[in-house]
């Protein structure tokens, strides 16, 4: 049954056409063989005309078989050519199927497969673009987090405020993809006007010269209210904004107020000149974090300065600092005047300090200063005070001591310093010079006594150093 089904002459079937073509093209060799048998074995008995008609009929049948074979082969060849182009990546190709046989079915199947591959490729391309955008966003967030950690570390290590603000501006500009960033801080003589203090990637001189008055104009009002203001391709056109953009050559920009305890202490200005750009909510939130970091840096610097102002001791030596000793000297002078008691002040300076530091290094120099501080501590009176008032300058405040008594103490300090074992490989040693002043002989205020002691110190230096004047 299967055999007959396979040999079934069903129309529109390739098997059917192949069988017909085979039969038609087999007639010629069969007729030729018959003709040879008849002429060579059995002599012809019929006329030549009849034989000619037979041959003509055979030729026509053979030509029909050839045409039919061509109709079967050509679609297959065309299909093979198109299939190669499709395999090469040209998914716009389509196989034209004029027949409804197996060749046509194969062509339609290939067309459907090509269409599906094309759709899948488009989806894959779209997915690739989305993935690329996601990777860019992830990279931007990682960069932002790294930048924020770096800024936070800089703040925690009490770096200079200028360095921290510069870091903030640089990182914001990097996050904004080839954009620019500016930090506006109050002017020294006009705190109500903000001027550019730090900038990154700003090439426009007009923009660098921009000044914002708090509470005035579009930008000033936004800052005074603590409101974020931004302009991009989706913003409505307004006359004031257009004037600002034309005057300062701006494209897309945003301004973020920097607030400390509710007060405006500056502004962060961010922008770029990209076409069809719009600030995303994530971008706004990210820049807000940088603005908060700038506010934290400002507040941290303010507190650090306040702490330094309140500090009364020197970090290296543990002695009192210059600000404290001056205030204390003022109090002791007032007490001395009230009770008619003496009060002396001595200023010391390490001789050739710069040369010593250059020859022995910073670490050895610091150890030496600590040793000098110990000498001063050992020689200060119970109610006196020892201080380090500058890099290589020290002072002694001696209540209840007159100039002669103060001089003897100063001489003792000088000699002990000269004999200090510095524990250095070289035979280096140091000396100090000093100047002594007394209330009320040399002045009735702390400044007058300190100036007099400084003058005496200069005299000692000019007379050869390593002496007290």
Residues 194 and 302 in one domain: yes
| Residue 348, domain member (yes or no) | yes
Q: Give the span between the Cα atoms of 350 and 365, in whole angstroms.
A: 11
Residues 173 and 213 in one domain: yes
Residues 410 and 457 in one domain: yes
Beta-bridge mates of residue 399: 343
| Residue 75, domain member (yes or no) | yes
What is 285-313 written as a DSSP string?
Answer: HHHHHHHHHHHHHHHHHHHHHHHHHH--B
Q: Give the span between the Cα atoms of 110 and 149, in whole angstroms.
A: 57
| Residue 457, domain member (yes or no) | yes
Which tens digits make up the pLDDT trace of 102-139?
Answer: 667 777 777 777 778 778 777 777 777 777 766 766 66
| Residue 142, domain member (yes or no) | no
- pLDDT of 14 strictly over 60: no
- From the number of C-beta atoms within 10 Å of its C-beta (0-12, 13-18, 19+), residue 221 rates as middle
**Structural domain boundaries, residue 29:** 2-87
| Residue 312, domain member (yes or no) | no
Chain-centroid distance of CA 177 in Å reads 9
| Residue 6, domain member (yes or no) | yes
Residues 384 and 333 in one domain: yes
What is 157-214 written as a DSSP string?
Answer: TT--HHHHHHHHHHHHHHHTSS-EEEEEEE-SS-TTEEEEEEEES---HHHHT-EEET
Q: Give the span between the Cα atoms of 98 and 78, in whole angstroms.
A: 12
User: Among the listed ranges 72-76, 254-258, 377-381, which one has the minimum average pLDDT value?
Assistant: 72-76
**3-state percent helix, strand, coil for the chain, nearest multiple of 5:** 60, 15, 25
**pLDDT confidence of 140, banded at 50, 70, 90?**
low
Residues 438 and 328 in one domain: yes
Query: Among residues 68, 87, 106, which one ends one of the domains?
Result: 87
- Tell me which DSSP letter residue 237 carries: P
Residues 296 and 337 in one domain: no
Q: How far is CA 318 from CA 255, 313, 372, in A?
A: 46, 6, 12
Q: Give the span between the Cα atoms of 278 and 254, in whole angstroms.
A: 11
Which tens digits make up the pLDDT trace of 294-335?
Answer: 888 888 888 877 777 677 888 888 898 888 899 899 998 988
Residues 255 and 329 in one domain: no
**pLDDT confidence of 177, banded at 50, 70, 90?**
low
Residues 334 and 289 in one domain: no
Inter-residue contact 210 to 250 (CB < 8 Å) = no
Q: How far is CA 143 from CA 135, 137, 159, in A?
A: 12, 10, 21
Which tens digits make up the pLDDT trace of 25-62?
Answer: 666 666 666 665 566 555 555 555 665 676 677 667 66
Q: Give the span between the Cα atoms of 312 and 314, in whole angstroms.
A: 7
Inter-residue contact 179 to 201 (CB < 8 Å) = yes
The length of the chain in residues reads 469
pLDDT confidence of residue 100: 66
Q: 245 versus 143: which is more confidently predicted? A: 245
Q: 217 versus 156: which is more confidently predicted? A: 217
Residues 251 and 357 in one domain: no
Query: Among residues 307, 334, 349, which one ends one of the domains?
Result: 307
Query: Among residues 87, 118, 148, which one ends one of the domains?
Result: 87
- pLDDT of 349 strictly over 80: yes
| Residue 129, domain member (yes or no) | no
Predicted TM-score (pTM) of this structure: 0.51
Domain count, the chain: 3
| Rg for the chain, CA atoms, rounded | 50
| Residue 139, domain member (yes or no) | no
Q: Smallest Cα–Cα separation from 383: which of 331, 452, 435, 451?
A: 331
Which tens digits make up the pLDDT trace of 351-377?
Answer: 999 898 888 888 888 999 999 999 999
Residue with tokens 């197996």: 102
Average pLDDT value for the chain: 79
Residues 302 and 341 in one domain: no
CATH of the domain at 392: 3.30.70.270
pLDDT confidence of residue 7: 45
Q: Give the span between the Cα atoms of 449 and 342, in whole angstroms.
A: 12
Residues 34 and 170 in one domain: no
Q: Give the span between the Cα atoms of 86 and 98, in whole angstroms.
A: 20
CATH of the domain at 191: 3.30.450.40
pLDDT confidence of residue 13: 56
Q: 77 versus 406: which is more confidently predicted? A: 406
Q: Give the span between the Cα atoms of 370 and 362, in whole angstroms.
A: 13
Q: 351 versus 98: which is more confidently predicted? A: 351
pLDDT confidence of residue 10: 44
pLDDT confidence of residue 37: 55
Residues 66 and 178 in one domain: no
- Tell me which DSSP letter residue 236 carries: P
pLDDT confidence of residue 460: 92
């Amino acid at each position: 049954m299967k055999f007959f089904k396979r040999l079934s002459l069903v129309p529109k079937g390739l098997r059917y056409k192949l069988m017909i073509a085979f039969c038609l093209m087999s007639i010629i060799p069969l007729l030729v063989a018959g003709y040879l048998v008849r002429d060579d074995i059995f002599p012809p008995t019929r006329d030549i005309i009849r034989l000619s008609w037979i041959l003509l009929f055979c030729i026509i049948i053979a030509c029909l078989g050839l045409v039919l074979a061509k109709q079967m082969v050509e679609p297959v060849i065309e299909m093979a050519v198109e299939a190669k182009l499709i395999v090469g990546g040209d998914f716009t190709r389509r196989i034209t199927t004029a027949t409804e046989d197996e060749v046509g079915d194969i062509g339609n199947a290939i067309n459907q497969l090509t269409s599906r591959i094309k759709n899948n490729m488009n989806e894959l391309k779209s997915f690739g673009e989305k993935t690329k955008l996601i990777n860019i966003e992830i990279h931007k967030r990682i960069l932002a987090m790294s930048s924020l950690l770096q800024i936070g570390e800089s703040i925690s290590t009490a770096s200079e405020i200028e360095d921290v603000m510069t870091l903030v501006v640089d990182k914001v500009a990097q996050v904004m993809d080839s954009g620019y960033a500016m930090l506006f801080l109050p002017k020294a003589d006009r705190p109500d006007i903000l001027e550019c203090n730090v900038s990154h990637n700003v090439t426009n001189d007009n923009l660098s010269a921009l000044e914002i008055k708090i509470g005035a104009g579009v930008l000033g009002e936004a800052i005074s209210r603590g409101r974020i203001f931004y302009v991009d391709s989706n913003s409505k056109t307004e006359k004031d904004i257009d004037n600002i953009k034309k005057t300062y050559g701006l494209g897309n920009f945003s301004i973020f107020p920097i607030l400390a305890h509710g007060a405006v202490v500056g502004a962060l200005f961010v922008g770029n000149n990209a076409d069809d750009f719009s600030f995303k909510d994530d971008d706004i939130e990210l820049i807000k974090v940088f603005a908060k970091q700038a506010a934290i840096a400002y507040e941290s610097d303010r507190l650090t300065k306040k702490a330094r102002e309140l500090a009364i001791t020197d970090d290296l030596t543990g002695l009192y600092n210059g600000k404290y000793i001056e205030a204390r000297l003022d109090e002791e002078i007032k007490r001395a005047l009230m009770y008619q008691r003496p009060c002396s002040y001595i200023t010391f300076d390490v001789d050739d300090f710069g040369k010593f530091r250059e020859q022995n290094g910073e670490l050895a120099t610091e150890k030496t200063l600590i040793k000098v501080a110990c000498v001063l501590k050992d020689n200060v009176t119970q109610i006196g005070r020892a201080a380090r008032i500058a890099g290589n300058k020290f002072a002694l405040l001696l209540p209840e001591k007159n100039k002669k008594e103060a001089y003897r103490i100063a001489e003792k300090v000088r000699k002990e310093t000269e004999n200090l074992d510095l524990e250095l490989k070289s035979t280096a040693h140091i000396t100090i010079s000093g100047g002594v002043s007394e209330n009320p002989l040399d002045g009735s205020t702390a400044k007058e006594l300190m100036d007099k002691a400084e003058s005496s110190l200069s005299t000692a230096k000019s007379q050869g150093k390593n002496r007290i004047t």
